[in-house]
Amino acid sequence: MDLPQLRALVAAVETGTLDGAARALHVTPSAVSQRIRALESATGQVLLVRSRPVVPTGAGTAVLRLARQVDLLVADTTAQLGGSPAAGPPVLPLAVNADSLATWFLPGVAPLAAEVQLDVRVADQTMTSALLRDGTVMAAVTADPEPVPGCSVARLGAMTYRPMATGAFADRWFADGVTPAALRRAPVVVFDRTDDLQYAYLRRRTHDRPAPPVHHVPASADHLVAVRLGMGWGMVPDLQTGPDDGLVPLDPAGAVDVVLWWQQWKLRSPSLDLVAAAVAATARAALDGAA
C-alpha cells in the first residue's frame, strides 16, 4: 500500500465518485481506478462498492482509517520539517453536534486556524461516534462514553437543556400548566429526525409516546429562532438563552443534562493533540460539570 493509492481511496469516499476523486487529486479517472484496484490487490479485499455514491466495504473502512492516519502523520512530519507551503496545514476531519458548534466549540479552535485545517461534520451527539467508527473523522464530540475501538475518550462536561417557549405560546397552550394533555396538543420544534431530546421529555412527562404537531428545523440557530417566533416549544441549551431573549421555561423541573465526551484516534499526532487540548480547555470554561 503506497500513499497515492491510499489518497485515491480517501478522495473517492469523500467525493462519492471516481471522477470526483480524479478532480480532487488532479489526475485522470483511470489513474484513480488503477490505484484503487492496486490497493485492493495488495490487501486481497474489495474496498469499495462501485455505487453512486461509492461506499467503503467493511475492509474498505479499515483501510480508509489507515489512509487518514498515514496522511495526517505525513502532513505533521512535513510541517515539522518546514515542508512545502503549498501543502498547507494538516487536515483534521472532526464530528461535532450542532449545538456545540453554535455555542462553545468554534471559539476554542478558532485560534488554531493557521496551524490546522478543520473539516467539521455536523451530526447529532448520539450519532457522531459512528463517524469515528467508520473512519470518516479522526475525533468527535459525542454523547457516547464507550470508546470506539482504537480511540481514547475524555469527559468534556454537560450541556443543560430546558423546555422553553415564548410567554405568548405558554399562555395559549399551557394556561392550565404543563399537563400531559397540554403536551399532547402543543406544537413542538425538533432539530431533526435523530433529535430525541423533546421526545424523551414528552415520554417522561406523559408516560406514553405522544404525537403532537412537530416542526423540524435542522440548524441550531434556526431551531432557536423558530422557538422565539412562537412556532412551538423546544429543548433549548442554557448556552443559547439569556434574560432578554423573550423565552420562558415551561417546566422548572424539566432540565436535562447531556454529558459530552471527546473521542479521538489513539494516534500520536501534534495536530490532533493541539486540537484536543483546545477543545478540552474551552469545554472546561463553558460546560457545566466539566472534567
Q: Pick the closest to residue 45 from 59, 35, 56 (CA basis).
A: 59
Residue 289 lies in a domain: no
Residue 104 lies in a domain: no
pLDDT at 289 over 60: no
Sorted by sequence, the CB contacts under 8 Å of residue 275 that are 6+ apart come out as 92, 94, 109, 112, 116, 118, 139
Chain centroid to Cα 58, Å, comes to 22
Q: How many domains does the chain have?
A: 2
Q: H helices of 118-241, where?
A: 128-133, 167-173, 180-185, 197-206, 220-228
Q: Pick the closest to residue 275 from 110, 124, 157, 129 (CA basis).
A: 110
Contact 260, 160 (CB under 8 A): no
What percent of the chain is predicted at pLDDT more than 90?
70
pLDDT at 290: 40
Model confidence pLDDT, tens digit, residues 35-49: 999 999 998 989 999
* Domain final residue pick, 57, 83, 109: 83
Average pLDDT of 234-263?
92
pLDDT at 199 over 70: yes
Contact 94, 151 (CB under 8 A): no
pLDDT at 74: 87
Residue 108 lies in a domain: no
Distance separating alpha carbons of residues 119 and 21, to the nearest angstrom: 17
Model-wide pTM > 0.85: no
pLDDT at 127: 87
Model confidence pLDDT, tens digit, residues 52-64: 899 899 898 889 9
Contact 21, 33 (CB under 8 A): no
Model confidence pLDDT, tens digit, residues 90-123: 889 999 999 999 999 999 999 999 999 999 999 8
CATH of residue 74: 1.10.10.10
Structural domain span for residue 9: 1-83
Residues in the chain: 291
pLDDT at 291: 39
* Domain final residue pick, 51, 83, 115: 83
For residues 166 and 128, the model is more confident at 166
pLDDT at 260 over 80: yes
| pLDDT band at residue 84 using 50, 70 and 90 as cut-offs | low
Under DSSP, is residue 249 helix (H, G, I), strand (E, B) or coil?
strand
Residues 78 and 163 in one domain: no
Average pLDDT of 121-128?
88
Under DSSP, is residue 46 helix (H, G, I), strand (E, B) or coil?
coil
CATH of residue 195: 3.40.190.10
Residue 193 burial (CB count, 10 A)? 10
Cα radius of gyration rounded to whole Å, the chain: 22
Sorted by sequence, the CB contacts under 8 Å of residue 116 that are 6+ apart come out as 89, 90, 91, 92, 271, 274, 275
| pLDDT band at residue 85 using 50, 70 and 90 as cut-offs | low
* Domain final residue pick, 48, 64, 83: 83
pLDDT at 26 over 50: yes
Q: What is the largest CA-CA distance in the chain?
A: 69
Residue 186 lies in a domain: yes
